[in-house]
Amino acid sequence: MADPLESYYANVVDSVGDGVIVLDNAGVVTLLNPAAEELAGVSRRQAKGGRFDDIFKGEAALIDMVAKTVATGMSVSDHENIVLKRGGRLTPVGASTSPLLSSEGERIGTILLLRDLTNVRELEEAVRQADRLSSLGALAAGLAHEIKNPLGGIKGAAQLLEMEFPENEELREYIRVMLKEVQRVNLIVEELLALASPGRLKLGKVNLHRVLTDIVLLQRRATDGMEISFGQYFDLSIPPILADESLLTQLFLNLIKNAMEAVGVGGAVKVTSRVWADYSMTQKGERRARMVAIDIADNGPGIAADVLDHLFTPFFTTKSKGTGLGLAICQKIVSEHRGMIKVDSEIGRGTVFTVMLPLIQ
């Protein structure tokens, strides 16, 4: 019969959410818990009795850490640089190694702990994006105010000119162009000001599915003849959430428009809603909240890696008629709702923008 205490300890190790791997003094794996199986992509049966250096052949940084602990008897940790490669996927991990000591204080092996940092990295990226926006926002607000005054002057002068020469058709045409362009600059400035000013949310119960369905319906009509196919895949168990409906409409409209502009004639745009079950975010002193995730997926050309870094920067655009404010505004709306926005893209395959919002009812 198994020692009850031993099976108790085995249960404890198996239940830990972090990966635990234990090696003996010869570098042979003696224990590997389920979280480690998952992270390393090897089964316990494959790993047990095998040499650590063989099983983790491609992971030079981990082998190095283990070797350091074996050589010095000291603990080593690295939470910045290690990325596990398994099954074509990259997982950022925090790793630490420490010597395993017997009750007599003798070194009998090495313990390796692995923590999945995927969610942490995503959060860090979201925070970086928000920071970038707020510093640019302050500058933009100043600039926008400076532009609005001379713009008013130009508009007034153009109108005076129009009154001065009511008969001159050619001149009137030039003035019409001037006024139209002034109007356009004005609109950009207004958008920029809205982006830079701290918004006030008008909170209410928002049925996300209705908002999304309405946008798709409108866009489908607007693009009649472009033959873009729209798919909607909703988890109908998602209740209405507490949010600002007109801002969310603007958010999803921007994303769906971008998707449509990316796919062009004959493309496909898919809108999906799901509950982000294993994700919870602690918001400074508030209770933990589950998240709702909305994916806007397209089968367009995808986004190149160097473009990906600038997507949310105000005025970044690759379109001849774009202002480049769309995604910056999306970013602002999402962070005002204490959510996150992220993008996954593959050249030639398409792009998925995912908006995560707290499931607060």
Ligand X SMILES: Nc1ncnc2c1ncn2[C@@H]1O[C@H](COP(=O)(O)OP(=O)(O)OP(=O)(O)O)[C@@H](O)[C@H]1O
Which stretches of the chain bind Mg ion, using CB under 5 A? 258, 326
Whichever of 273 and 354 has its CB closer to ligand X, that residue is: 354
What region does 17 belong to: left with phi over 0, alpha with psi -120 to 50, or beta?
alpha
Based on the shown chain and the rule CB under 6 A, indicate whether residue 267 belongs to the binding site for ligand X: no
At its nearest, how many Å lie between ligand X and the CB of residue 140? 14
Distances (CA, A) of 68 to 110, 115, 124: 10, 19, 29
Based on the shown chain and the rule CB under 6 A, indicate whether residue 262 belongs to the binding site for ligand X: yes
Based on the shown chain and the rule CB under 6 A, indicate whether residue 34 belongs to the binding site for ligand X: no
| CA-angle at 311, arms to 310 and 314, nearest 5° | 85
Candidate ranges 135-143, 146-154, 176-184, 326-334; the one touching ligand X (CB under 6 A)? 326-334
Whichever of 258 and 273 has its CB closer to Mg ion, that residue is: 258
Whichever of 236 and 305 has its CB closer to ligand X, that residue is: 305
| CA-angle at 322, arms to 319 and 328, nearest 5° | 110
Q: Give the list of residues 6+ apart from residue 327 with CB closer than 8 angstroms, or none.
A: 254, 258, 311, 312, 316
Based on the shown chain and the rule CB under 6 A, indicate whether residue 318 belongs to the binding site for ligand X: yes
At its nearest, how many Å lie between ligand X and the CB of residue 145? 21
Indicate the residue whose CB is closest to ligand X.
326
Based on the shown chain and the rule CB under 6 A, indicate whether residue 341 belongs to the binding site for ligand X: no
Residues 220-259 interacting with ligand X (rule: CB under 6 A): 254, 258-259
Whichever of 276 and 316 has its CB closer to ligand X, that residue is: 316
Distances (CA, A) of 79 to 227, 229, 282: 48, 44, 21
| Distance of alpha carbon 295 from alpha carbon 339, whole angstroms | 14
Residue 36 contact, options Mg ion, ligand X, none, Cβ 5-8 Å cut-off depending on partner type: none
Residue 236, SS3?
Answer: coil
Residue 316 contact, options Mg ion, ligand X, none, Cβ 5-8 Å cut-off depending on partner type: ligand X
Return the residue of 21, 311, 334, 357 that touches ligand X, per CB under 6 A: 311
| Distance of alpha carbon 89 from alpha carbon 113, whole angstroms | 20
Q: Which of 292, 299, 300 is nearest to 234 (CA)?
A: 292
| Distance of alpha carbon 129 from alpha carbon 280, whole angstroms | 20
Based on the shown chain and the rule CB under 6 A, indicate whether residue 298 belongs to the binding site for ligand X: yes
Chain residues binding ligand X by CB under 6 A are: 254, 258-259, 262, 298, 300, 303, 307, 311, 316-319, 322-328, 351
